[in-house]
Structure 1
């Protein structure tokens, strides 16, 4: 059903929607009232005790903060220019979470691309925290593995620093003590704005991360103007903003290394070469709006229209009720597909042949699927939110927030005549890295608070 609202109350509408999803999730998991109460209280106690223990560990045993034993440092042929270690100020580019997680998706994928190109251009020194010190991420002949913080160094935090929150303040303090600066690269503050969309530990980490890391930095560079403005608005509304605090934004790249190579799976090939289909890309989580797209598809199926809906994205959190809806749906495996483990080749093929990318997200930090769709020449039908407008401009088709009726109408039109492809100005990761690191070095921010 359509939900009428003005731009001013979008936040309240989004929170109400997320609260409804949370209620459905609770109902799906409901056992006995007392059992549920005890379980929630036990979780709260666990998170509280865990935070206290981590704090004590850092204060009493600072050399033991890195978990899981010594990290496996990357061993790659060094392409850094000779003066990367002598150029001043040095830009120490944090990769702690990417290193420890071993992942190459989402934030880690962005971090690795920026680090690689920044290193090869001689603009930054990728590092990771281990046992309270910074270590060189890439091997380099003749250079010590440990990187000592020097006067005037700049510490660039693009990685998921909230995952290792208590290891950063000592580094930040040492950089500041030596006359340097720390720059926080912001992906979003959605766990603060919409905590119901995230697991309680993540929402709680972000609440601690804001004062300990974000607000102690010397500047913030966001991955989109919309994200930068959301931080500005939050700091103004909460009274936490500092006069003159600099906030900027830069463009992410879109030419991911090795993207789309290899052969697609048999399932992806069957879908791509079958009936027309709409594609959604993103983890199954509350803010992504997958139920809205499925609602729209059910309207089309009820009208007798023959089209499929394909979701590419892993299992997330807080959506078990929707996962059951998918797996029990009469169209599942026929005209409804969930590819939780699709590879790059699968995704590239599905983008190319989709009738349109359907994005019903209620909140995003950037909107990478729009950029990926544009590279494949795929039309985009998306929620009318600022970050999507920023990414696609007038080349995408938009529908009002949470309005499955309007989305169904746009899909119906797309089945009659495929929309024009969405276009986004290309941006290489090399140029993206140069833009970010130059802004950090030069302080060329687009706005300042106050």
Structure 2
């Protein structure tokens, strides 16, 4: 009986034999201990399997388990050629990098792998991260069968973080060289956040091409393509590389119909390169209000009593159009209308001009302030205190501040196109974000017309609310099962 035949009794397929033998070779002494093979016999068995059919998927899996990393597509292609020319022995001599040798390699077959590398490690609250946190909390509460992963140092592969969101957060913020390296194989890989690192994207593209896994990503927007002048120079190239990887994915769940239109336009370009491209479907975000428990800050310390408050929520990157809000507000103040203007949101790329103009207005005595960050309860209290909010962005995949404001019965001034027009169906005033006078007229009009504000507030309060639970359920259904409203048991073999 040959060495490979000895292993055949223990596993069902050649791919499974490759995974098993690769793991055995990656751990000194394991081959003899687990299946009665010497290292030389294990090498011979795996070489025989690879030389019979050195398919890209088999090369990918062998590289992953031998090196404790997800191989990029270029490595898979190069090693496939070499195996065909020279045999499999050179490939089987590979070993993990020295820093990886203490980590076990765990092949996950038939499960769901959720990649939350950035969100698990940070306290930032960008729109994307707020979506990810809300989804992961709901998936955990619903006992969704998932293996949560982050990325190893150098973006070489996945490390296991846990099966619950709270456990994953705790694990991601501690340093450990012993957490298992996870290799998804014929599983389902989900990416609910935005990946822009070149090495990470190269390896994700290869996973989508060769691992036999279904792959799905949340599509937030195509802003670096549609309005590239509003994105940082590095982001334009990074986002193009993101799309190059996502072209090989199976599904993109966009957060609005407007974002779906953008992604479908991109997908038609991908087809011209001979790539089938992913299925694209809108899974529209939740629009419920932010939590409103007791605030840790008294809003009386933030705004003047007896004066209307105009609230603007979001980061200060150029796309959010906050310079236009400042200019529009100054026009209204000069017309003799007295009100407070409050920005809530962190600084972002190219926010220096906004901060400079904000300082000028403050020094001239205008009642305008900017808060970098507040907790959810304080934000909810500010929405309720505001006469209305303003969100005249140049482009958005969705616009969470719009629905947060409306869900609390506060009218919104927002842009008259794209996702913002899509979600601001009631309780809103639509403006041209590229016309400062249009924004100023809308602000002045609402400040002077209290009955209209009240009518818009009633419209906002009567809106049907879509919960985060509903969004998370539909997102899981589409990303894991490929269809809306489709539910059923999902196999998860656990990390082996």
TM-score greater than 0.5 by the shorter chain: yes
Counterparts of 1:368 and 1:65 in 2: how far apart (Å)? 42
1:77-226 correspondence runs (5 A): 89-123=110-144, 124-130=146-152, 132-138=156-162, 146=180, 148-149=182-183, 151-162=185-196, 164-174=197-207, 176-211=209-244, 213-226=245-258
Aligned residue in 2 for 1:425: 464
For the structure 1 residues 279 and 64, does the alpha-carbon distance in structure 2 shift closer, same or farther, using more than 3 Å as the test?
farther
Q: Does 1:328 align with 2:380?
A: no
Aligned to 1:279: 311
The Cα of 1:445 is off from its aligned counterpart by 7.1
Change (3 A) 1:287 1:65: farther
- Please tell me whether the aligned partners of residues 226 and 387 of structure 1 are also in contact (alpha carbons under 8 angstroms): yes
Instruction: Return closer, same or farther for 1:139/1:268 CA change in 2, 3 Å cut-off.
Output: farther
- The match for 2:479 is 440
Q: 2:380, 2:357 → 1: CA distance?
A: 27
Q: After TM superposition, give the deviation of residue 351 of structure 1 in Å.
A: 0.5
Alignment-derived partner of residue 293 in structure 2? 261
Normalising by structure 1, report the TM-score. Answer: 0.72
In structure 1, the gaps of 5 or more residues are: 1-54, 71-84
Q: Which moved more, 1:382-391 or 1:331-340?
A: 331-340
Q: Is the 8 A contact 1:98 1:111 kept in 2?
A: yes
Aligned-pair distance for 1:65?
10
Larger radius of gyration: 2
Distance 1:300 1:256 in 2: 29
| SS of alignment partner, residue 271 of structure 1 | coil
Q: 1:119 to 1:128 in 2, by over 3 A?
A: same
Which residue number corresponds to residue 300 of structure 1? Answer: 332
Q: Quote the offset at 1:429 in angstroms.
A: 2.1
CA distance in 2, matches of 1:93, 1:256: 26
Cα shift at 1:308: 1.9
Task: Give the structure-2-normalised TM-score.
Answer: 0.66
Q: Which whole-Å CA distance do the structure 1 matches of 2:258 and 2:429 have between them?
A: 19
- 1:235 and 1:241 in contact (8 A); partners too: no
What SS does the corresponding residue of 1:161 show, helix, strand or coil?
Answer: coil
RMSD: 3.4
What secondary structure, in the 3-state scheme, does the structure 1 residue paired with 2:326 have?
helix
Cα deviation for residue 151 of structure 1 reads: 4.5
Is the contact made by 2:289 and 2:405 (CA closer than 8 Å) also made in structure 1?
Answer: no
Q: How do residues 13-32 of structure 1 correspond to structure 2 at under 5 angstroms?
A: none
Residue-by-residue CA offset, 1:62-83 (whole Å, 9 max, x unaligned):
85999xxx9xxxxxxxxxxxxx
**Aligned-partner SS, 1:393:** coil
Contact conserved, 1:268 with 1:346, CA < 8 A, in 2?
no
Give yes or no for contact 1:307–1:335 (8 Å, CA) kept in 2: yes
* 1:372 shift after superposition: 0.8
Question: Which residue in 1 is equivalent to 2:402?
Answer: 370
Which aligned pairs between 1:24-103 and structure 2 lie closer than 5 A? 89-103=110-124
Aligned CA distance change for structure 1 residues 433 and 253 (closer, same or farther; 3 Å) = same
Once residues 260 and 273 of structure 2 are traced to their aligned partners in structure 1, the CA distance between those partners, rounded to angstroms, is 15
Q: Deviations over 1:343-400 (max 9, x none)?
A: 3333222110111111111111110001110221100111112201221214311112
Name the SS for the 2:162 alignment partner.
coil
Secondary structure, counterpart of 2:369 in structure 1: strand
Aligned length: 368
Task: Please list the CA deviations of residues 109-166 of structure 1 after superposition, one character each: whole Å capped at 9, or x if unmatched.
Answer: 221221232233233332223254433333679xx9637445531101112211x331
Q: Equivalent residue for 1:27?
A: none
Displacement of 1:236 in angstroms is 3.3
CA contact 1:151–1:180 (8 Å) conserved in 2: yes
